[in-house]
Amino acid sequence: MRRLLLPAAVAALAGCGGAPAADAPPTSTPAAPASASVAHPEWAGHANIYEVNVRQYTPEGTLRAFQAHLPRLKALGADILWLMPVQPIGVKNRKGPLGSYYSVSDYRAINPEFGTEADMRALVDDAHARGMRVILDWVPNHTAFDHTWVAAHPDWYVRNPDGSISNARDNEGKATDWTDVAELDYAKPEMRRAMLADMRWWLDSMKVDGFRCDVAGGVPDDFWAEARRELGAGRPGLFLLAEAEAPKAHAAFDMTYGWELHHLLNAIAKGEKGTSELDRYFARQDSTYPRGAMRMYFTSNHDENSWQGTEFERMGENHRPAFVLAATVAGGTPLVYTGQEAGLNRRLRFFEKDTVRWSDTTLTPFYRALLDLKHRQPPLGNGELGGTQAALRTDGGDRTWAFTRTRGQKVVLVAVNFGDAPKTLRYEGLAAPGAYTDWFDRTVTTRLAASGTLDVPAHGWRVLFH
């Protein structure tokens, strides 16, 4: 989902799940999840995701100009490049001078502002040669009002009582201010077949590796089941990410959004909620999501940055411990948004040109270290490759939290402190005592007993491996 121009849209986080209720009881013995998870591509096992806003990435705002950043992104640790929509943008009812990326006027074309089909193929080929994957942001819930289908197949759209084409609704079917997009009618089999054919074209002609599916909750589940079956036939590497937060989505999608954790991290960072809510959150995940389900965790993305504010606005000094959790907790795959590694400290305009400045490299080592941690530590694998998570009992109060991830003989221990003062945490229950090395400073080795203490700086973290 994306926010559009009017302030009312900022309030709607449809279909994404809210922060957990404060009185939700923790589950000590999770019930077995009812839904099943798809088989994931082998290459996704320790992958990180990087979201690319092509328009704002470079002064040129083109695919070719962005391609020059691939060596840097490979060194950063990006594995899956999620490209925001690159198709032509509708003119009718357009918002702002350049329009929304999510108002697509032709599914099988490249926005001429971004480049050509040859540029797109060159970008994908280059990424593949570097061992990276490319997924395209796909907009199946709606099209621009001047999409080719509106004239050719007007019956493929949802109608208002007066017979006019309806504006698109959100993941929950609620009205929006998305006045630049027309809602598709999934009761029409011919439209479904055309949608699948257009998706297949990108897989076959542009060689993308899959799709991030916008407003996935606004599209019927049976369409996604059909898409997985048809598009995945003969393509074991197909990867599908849903902009939805629902256990049942994992029957068709490799990965879903972790909106609930994102909102919770915002609240904890601001002191509105305590870290004990994290125990409740993960108990619910264990009891409702299928084993092997991949979740995308983040502190920013295009929606959050443009409409809710930067991570600096929402989380203040706690944006870094929040990302440490997003990169290390069970089930999670971390997302880095365009410019986060360059300390992007402003909201990018959504319907205008607003180029990211890449001169600040202060945060780059922080993000590189955590993406590298994901690659090198088996307990932090995605899906079923990931290790078991166990919270450590500490005396740090509701501004600190500590846990371990364990797979075989490998252990990663993480402790975060959202408070204003350093903490010496007294902990109990470390199942694998021994010598632990600090991930961020490899010269520091600490011998930890089953019970002991661990120093964590204010607004900081410790990541140790054994």
For residue 351, being part of any structural domain is answered with: yes
Same domain, 380 and 393: no
Instruction: Give me Rg for the CA atoms of the chain.
Output: 22
Same domain, 353 and 291: yes
For residue 1, being part of any structural domain is answered with: no
Please give the pLDDT value at position 24: 34
Whether 441 and 416 have beta carbons less than 8 Å apart is answered as no
Of 370, 386, 402, which residue is a domain's last?
A: 386
Q: What is the CATH number of the domain that holds 452?
A: 2.60.40.1180
Same domain, 134 and 149: yes
Q: What is the CATH number of the domain that holds 90?
A: 3.20.20.80
Of 366, 386, 406, which residue is a domain's last?
A: 386
Whether 187 and 112 have beta carbons less than 8 Å apart is answered as no
Same domain, 382 and 399: no
Helices (H), 52-206: 54-57, 63-67, 70-76, 117-129, 148-152, 189-205
Same domain, 366 and 393: no
For residue 382, being part of any structural domain is answered with: yes
Same domain, 84 and 139: yes
Pairing of strands 400-407, 142-144: unpaired
Please give the pLDDT value at position 400: 98
Residue 293: HSE in the Cβ half-sphere, 13 Å Cα cutoff: 27
Same domain, 409 and 378: no
Q: Which long-range contacts (CB under 8 A, 24 or more apart) does 285-289 make?
A: 285/330, 285/331, 286/27, 286/30, 287/27, 287/30, 287/31, 287/33, 288/33, 288/247, 289/33, 289/35, 289/247, 289/250, 289/331
Same domain, 77 and 25: yes
Please give the pLDDT value at position 132: 98
- Amino acid at residue number 136: L
pLDDT in tens, 248-298: 999 999 999 999 999 999 999 999 999 999 999 999 999 999 988 999 999
Residue 178 Rama label (left phi>0; alpha psi -120 to 50; beta): beta
Tell me the two tokens of residue 301.
Answer: 């993305």
pLDDT in tens, 231-246: 999 999 999 999 999 9
CB burial class (10 A; 0-12, 13-18, 19+) of residue 166?
middle
Domain that holds residue 181: 7-386
For residue 313, being part of any structural domain is answered with: yes
Mean pLDDT of 222-233: 97
Same domain, 449 and 353: no
Same domain, 353 and 455: no
pLDDT in tens, 12-34: 333 333 333 333 333 333 444 54
Give the confidence band of 35 by pLDDT, cuts at 50, 70, 90.
low
Tell me the two tokens of residue 347.
Answer: 């909201």
Give the confidence band of 176 by pLDDT, cuts at 50, 70, 90.
confident
Of 361, 386, 411, which residue is a domain's last?
A: 386
Please give the pLDDT value at position 32: 44
Same domain, 65 and 186: yes
Same domain, 433 and 288: no
Based on the structure, what is the number of domains in the chain? 2
